[in-house]
Structures are given as structure tokens and as C-alpha cells.
Chains A and B, each alone.
Chain A
Amino acid sequence: MRANRRCFLGCVALVLGLLLIAPAPSAGAPQGTVIYAVHITIAPAWFDPADNPGQITPFIIQYALHDAVIKPMPAGMMTPSLAESWTASKDGRVYEFVLRKNVVFHNGDLMTAEDVKFSFERYRGAGATLLKEKVEAVTIVDPHRVRFHLKEPWPDFMGFYGSPATGAGWIVPKKYVEKVGEDGFKQAPVGAGPFKLVSMTPGVEIVLEAHEKYWRKTPKVKRIVMKTVTEGSTRLAMLKRGEAHIAYKTDGPLGEEVRKDPNLDLVFSGGIATWWLQFGELNDPKSPWHHHKVRLAANYALDRRALSEAETLGASPLTGSIIPREFEWALPVDPLPYDPKKAKQLLAEAGYPSGFDAGTITPIPPYYSFAEAVGGYLGAVGIKAKVQKMERAVMFDKRRKRELTGICLCANGGFGNAVTRIDADIVSTGVHSVLKDAEIDKLFDEQSREADPKKREALLKRIQQRVVDRAYFAPIYQLQWPNGVSKAMKVSGMGLIPTFYYTGPFEEIELR
């Protein structure tokens, strides 16, 4: 009995001794696992920036796995990352980037100008055709200095290269890609981002681990697990059950539930997708939408604040322009106030005292409840329109072919600058534009040839002012969405980058 007790006490002493001499985890070492419930299906296609489709979605992972020469960060839309700095020549034809030294890829390779050149030349995603048309050559000055030579001055070069509008500035290791091949890279991607890939089950989950040699800082979290959970109620249940720390997109009633739960926080994202009403027949003199006062009436008819509350729990800032405020050369415009009386008066002045039948409102799927609410506000002043539901691909196709009639509840969430949005949605040749305003087309043409940045900015702002003055659209809000975050998170990273829908920078994310 006594021997047993001695043995027991000896063991306790040994354990305590070991605990005392064991090295404690250093304060700076990454710790813990953060689990995400992601609302969209995670695909391996997103592991490779060379394939970026020009949508923001792949950056949900790329901000963790990879790094860019220049990218949006909390400090600004174009924050030098792998580049320390960049300069443009006076003639606007040469851009030089000074790269950071001692940047290490996940496999230990040092990042050099070779990788930057290789990544650009390998890029085949959105905007690749345009970039390669404009860039004559990429030359390596020294291992940490690279120059892009343009065929002619192109003031939008940085808008494409230095933003998530494309993935051309996101750097992959040349030697590794050449060694493993394209398919091998998709299976086992290596980047220069704050996290490296541990495992991946396509469409199910990915597991990432801290890249402790990340140049900016060592990530605070050891592991990140992103699980695809497309059903919102299940994401909420995971949060409540403690199975997830962050659940993306908990809007509507789900967000209200998050708000009520003392263990959860409702956190708003950033974002750059603007929503607006587009009037399909505004060029037709027989259409009511041809009248400026009718379009203005539609603008006054919308209670944007209530729409933002109902759809996004107030997360989305209201706007009077279809171009996000954060974009370069954007004209910040406040929306017109909600004034149904004035809307009715304007309709009467335009010759529609009893309103009119506007046909249909077609929203980008699946924002049908949003369209119903908009239809309600328009109907209240006499503009009657039924919500038309379309399958996503059909709607995109019809929109692209300009076959949508009536009102379109449209949005654009592409990165870029004021020029890219005007180019897509405002000038008559834009892929989605239904406008035909010769003056705007002329101004846009002028700005594209203007070398003086100040004059160019003035021209772009004149275009935007004309769009606002003529009420060509009824802008609603800049979409941002509510997300559920567990109180276990000290820093969720949500909304830190004002133009980004997801958490980031990943190295800042921290558990309590």
C-alpha cells in the first residue's frame, strides 16, 4: 500500500517537473483552429490565380494561400504587398516594381522577379487577353526589380494588374509550377500567402496551416478549416453548436437569430457590388422610362434604408451612384431621399398621374425577395411591375444580349476602377449597357486618350455627374452582408478590408 502511494506521488512529481521544464508555446506562435462555414462550394479551381474568373469569390482562399504584388488591404485599395513600391514612367509606358527581399514561398523558395514575370505570362484568366494586348514585354532588371513595358500609355494598367480585377499580379513559384505541372499545381498549390494547404476535399472542405515565415507577420492562428455549407440554417446551427467560428452570409432571419444569441456577434463584411435599377426601354421615346421625370420618380419611390435593413440587416451603405465610392476616380453621390409624394408628383408631371404598367422586374438570381420589396415600393407610387424569376445562366445570357425587358434589378461586383464600371454598364458599347448617350460615349473616348491624370479624372467625373443628373439608373446600395461570428474570435478579419466580402488579411485573424 505504502509502495503504491510512493509510486503515485513519484509520478505526480515527475509530471509536474516535466510541465515546469517543458517549453511553453511562444507568445508569437500560431495557435488554435478556426473553422469557417462557407456559403459557396469551394473548388480547387480557386487555388490557382492564373485561372481567376474576374469574380471576387476565389479570393476567399487566395488571400490565404497566395500574395500579390499590389492588393487591397486595410490601408487602401492598392497597398504594396510583394512589391515595396512601384513607379510609372513619365510617358506612362513603363511600370517598375521594386520587390520585397526575403519573401519565402510555402516550399521554401525565395520569391524573385522571375516569379513575377512567370506569373504574368502564365496568367490566362479574366482580362488576360486585354493585359497581353497592352503589355509589350516584362523585363527583369535584377532579382528584385521588374519592369512592365506597355505598347502605349494605358492609365488603367494598375487597375487591372494591381487589383483583384485580374489574378495577373498574384504570384506563384515558377520553379515549383514547372516541376509539378499545371494539374499538379492544382492538387498541391504553393504560394507566398500567410497559410499553406494541408488537405483538400473538392466541394467539401479545405484545411490550411499557418506559413510561419510569411513576410508580413506570422499568422496568429495555427489552422484554418473551411467547410462548404450552402444551407444558411445549417451554418447558423453550426455557429450555435460551436462547430464553426465564422459563418458567412447570415442575412435576413438568420442574422436576427445571430443578433439574439449572446454567444455570437453579427459582423458586416466589406464589399464593392452596387445594386441598381436599370430601365430596359429608356431609349425608346414611347416608353415611360424615356422621361427623365419618370426615372427620377423611381429614384424617389425607393426607401433604400428599409431595403438595406430588410435584405442585409442594414449592412449595405446606401448610394446614389452605380460606382463604388472606394474606386479610383469615383464620384461620391448620396442617394435621393425616400419621398413617395414627390415621386407621384413627378409621375403626374410626366403625364402618368395614375402610374403605368412597367412590365417586369428581373433580379439577378436569387435576389427575388429584394425584387419583391423594390416592386412594392414602385407599386406604391403607381409603377406596377411583376417579379420575373429566371435561372441564373439564362438571366446572364439575356442580360448580355440585351434581351431583358422592363426593369432589371442589376448589380456589378467586379473589381477595377470607375473606368471599368463605366465601360461595362454606362457607355453604349458596354457588355451590359442599355444606355445610348452620345455625349457619354464621346467623353469616354476622350478620357481614354487623355494623358493628363487630372484632366482624365475630370472627364470621368463629368460622365458620372451626367448619369446622376439624368437619373439613368436608380442606384440602391453597395451590397455588404451580415455574417455570424463566434465570441471565441478576437479578430474575425471581417470588414477589415473595406472592399472585400470575406475575412482578411488572414494573418490578422485571432482567437480569444
Chain B
Amino acid sequence: MTRFILKRCGLALVSLFILSVTIFTLIRLTGDPATLLAAPDAKEADLDAIRVRFGLDRSWPVQYVRFVGGALQGDFGTSLYYRIPAGTLYWQRLPASLQLAAAAMTISLVVGLSVGILAAVNVGRWWDSAGKLIALLGLSMPSFWLGLLLIYFFAVYLHWLPTSGRGTAAHLVMPAIALSGYFTAAHMRLTRSSMLDVLGSEYVKLARLKGLPESWVLVKHAFKNALIPVVTLAGINLVLMINVAVVVETVFAWPGIGRLLFEGIEFRDFPVVQTVVLLGGVMVIVANLTVDVLYAWIDPRIRLKS
């Protein structure tokens, strides 16, 4: 198991290096931030002054070494738009994203797993059709549209919830529902298909033949095995929820990382984009690593093969 984890850690470091080079290069290919930071009719001298001030006049290798050197010490540079450290901005926004992602993940797992199991157990019946409808709606309804519908119904019409922002638990309800919509559907579909696979397997048939109660067969034998692909997907989805909830965060003025990334791209704020993508990448890698380890723990064949 230790060898398995060490090998995965080595691969994670290589992935991080590739990610840092990629994001550093790609963001610079999109254009010169000085043109957005200055007035539209600014003279070339003003643009030059901005480039010098933010070190954008240096060669790319010099800028990359500075970026990586700083990042290793926790300094991700100063935001070009906000003029405060990009790391500070990131850590300020992270709790809001974690809170939203945790709430949305809870909703998506509770609803997705329950409906998925019910649909699989009652395949072809009313519950299954209802589950399919929920999945269809969740996958096809754009989150901004769902978000606006929620705002206008629950905030403007019923006056039950605040329209936007972060503060009380009430502020969290609508963004969490809007963010969870797609993921609930995805978890539900995967749970249903995975459960159907497992329920048709030989060992479940054997368990039933042995006369075990149906609830015991479902919980002990079917659900545990059907959970493996759902855990994998949920791990990746959690990272997505934290980092790229751009639309939901914008609609609900939720001060999270997704909005920060969007603004960073919009304003060509290199340090902010680099910080968000790099730390998001770290999160993806750690999540993958955790899922791999969990996988190996749940199913010993995986670590033995590895």
C-alpha cells in the first residue's frame, strides 16, 4: 500500500509541473493585460509603465521562475486588478466555495443516491420513471436559468429567502440547490446503472438464494459495491463544485473561487488565474489520490494489480 501511495504522489508532482507550465503559457497567449488596465486612449508610455510595474516586461522564463519560486513559498504574486496578493484573495474566497460545495454535494448525494437506488430497485416502474425525469431535468436545465427561477419565486414572489450574497444559512439554500441540480442528476444516473449491474451479479443472486433478507442484500452486498464508481465521480464533482461554480456564484453574487477565476480571466489578471488554477489543480490531484487510495482500500484487487 505504501509503494502504491508513493507512486501516485510522484505522478501527482509531475502533473502539477505540467499544469503550472500550461496555465502560465495559456493565460499569456490570451493578450496583454496592460491594455485592459489602462484607459482605452492611454499612450504607449502609460502601457509600458504598467508592464514594468507588474513585471510583465520581463521574459516569460524569468516570469515563470518568479511565479514558481514565489508559489513554493506561498506567494502567488499581486493581483493586477485588485492590487492585493492573489493568495490572500484565494484564501478569502475559499471558505465560501467550500461551504457552497459541501451543501450542494450533500443535496446531490442524498437525493441522487436515494432516487438512484429506488429507481434501480423498482426498475421499469413509477419510481424509475420519476428518477429518469429528475435526471433529465437536472442535466438539461442550465444552472443560471434554474438560479433565476429560484430567485424570482422564492425571493421576489414569496419573500422567503434572500436574493443573493452570503451571510446566513438562508443565503445558502438557493445557490446550493442551483449548483446541485446537474450533479444530483449525474449521481442519480450512475447510482441507478451501477446498482442495476450489481443487482444482476452472481453474488447478489447467491445472497438471495441463501435466503438473506432483501434489505440486507441491498445494503450489505449491492450498495457497497455499487458505490465505487459513485465515490469516484463524487470526488471529482466536489472539486468541480469548489472551483468552477462560475455561473451559480455570479447569479447569486456568491463570493467564491469560481467568480474569482472568471473575473481573473476577464481582466487578464495573470496571478489570480494562475493561483486559482494551480490550487484547483492541487485539489483535483489530491482528490484523485484520495479516490485511488479509497478504491484500493475498498477493492484489494486494485492495489495488488498496481
- Measured CB to CB, the residues of A under 8 A from B are 41, 43-45, 51, 53-55, 124, 126-130, 186-187, 201-204, 227-231, 233-234, 237-238, 240-241, 243, 391-394, 396-397, 400, 412-414, 420, 423-425, 430-432
Contacts and interface: CB of A to CB of B under 8 A. Distances in A.
Contacts of A234: 148, 151, 163-164, 251-253
A128 B263 contact: no
Interface of B: 30-33, 35-46, 49, 53, 81-84, 89, 92-93, 148, 151-152, 155-156, 159, 162-166, 250-253, 255, 259-260, 263, 266, 268
Contacts of B156: 237, 240-241
15 contacts: A41-B263, A43-B82, A55-B40, A126-B46, A128-B49, A129-B49, A130-B43, A186-B84, A202-B82, A203-B255, A231-B253, A237-B156, A241-B156, A397-B32, A397-B35
B36 A237 contact: no
Given A392-B36, A393-B35, 4 more contacts: A187-B84, A229-B253, A397-B32, A431-B43
Given A41-B263, A231-B253, A393-B30, A126 B82 contact: no
B82 A44 contact: yes
Contact of B268 (A51, A127, A393): A393
A414 B41 contact: yes
Contacts of B84: 44, 186-187, 202
Interface core residue of B40, B164, B263 (most chain A CB under 10 Å):
B40
A243 B255 contact: no
B49 A124 contact: yes
Nearest to A130: B43
B42 to A, nearest CB: 6
B52 to A, nearest CB: 11
A232 to B, nearest CB: 10
Contacts of A425: 41
A397 B42 CA distance: 12
A243 B162 contact: yes
The 9 closest A-B pairs by CB, nearest first: A54-B39, A424-B41, A393-B31, A45-B83, A204-B255, A396-B35, A237-B163, A129-B45, A229-B253
Nearest to A47: B83
Contact of B33 (A186, A202, A228, A393): A393
A420 B40 contact: no
Nearest to A423: B41
A351 B174 CA distance: 61
B260 A431 contact: no
B32 to A, nearest CB: 6
Given A44-B82, A391-B30, A400-B35, A227 B165 contact: yes
Contacts of A186: 83-84
A413 B40 contact: yes
Given A234-B253, A240-B156, A203 B89 contact: yes
A466 to B, nearest CB: 21
A54 B92 contact: no
Nearest to B89: A202
B163 A238 contact: yes
Contacts of B82: 43-45, 202-203
A366 to B, nearest CB: 10
Contact of A241 (B38, B83, B163, B166): B163
B263 A392 contact: no
Given A127-B46, A203-B89, A233-B151, A51 B40 contact: no
Contacts of B35: 393, 396-397, 400
Interface core residue of A53, A424, A432 (most chain B CB under 10 Å):
A53
A423 B84 CA distance: 34
Contact of B40 (A41, A391, A412): A412
A394 B30 CA distance: 8
Contacts of B40: 55, 396, 412-414, 432
A204 B250 CA distance: 11
Given A41-B263, A45-B81, A241-B159, A228 B37 contact: no
A43 B81 contact: yes
B274 to A, nearest CB: 17
A412 B41 contact: yes
Nearest to A229: B253
B165 to A, nearest CB: 7
Contacts of B93: 203
Interface core residue of A55, A130, A420, A423 (most chain B CB under 10 Å):
A55
Nearest to B259: A203
A152 B34 CA distance: 31
A93 B257 CA distance: 52
Contacts of B42: 53-54, 126, 431
Contacts of B49: 124, 128-129
Contact of A227 (B37, B43, B253): B253
A163 to B, nearest CB: 13
A51 B39 contact: no
Contacts of B263: 41, 203
A153 B188 CA distance: 75
B155 A241 contact: yes
Contacts of B165: 227
Interface core residue of B35, B251, B263 (most chain A CB under 10 Å):
B35
Contacts of B152: 237
A54 B38 CA distance: 7
A122 to B, nearest CB: 14
Contacts of B53: 124
Contacts of B30: 391, 393-394
Nearest to B45: A129
B284 to A, nearest CB: 24
A414 B42 CA distance: 9
Contact of B164 (A129, A237, A414, A431): A237
A228 B93 CA distance: 14
A392 B266 contact: yes
A422 to B, nearest CB: 11
A229 B164 contact: yes
A51 to B, nearest CB: 7
A107 to B, nearest CB: 21
Contacts of A128: 46, 49
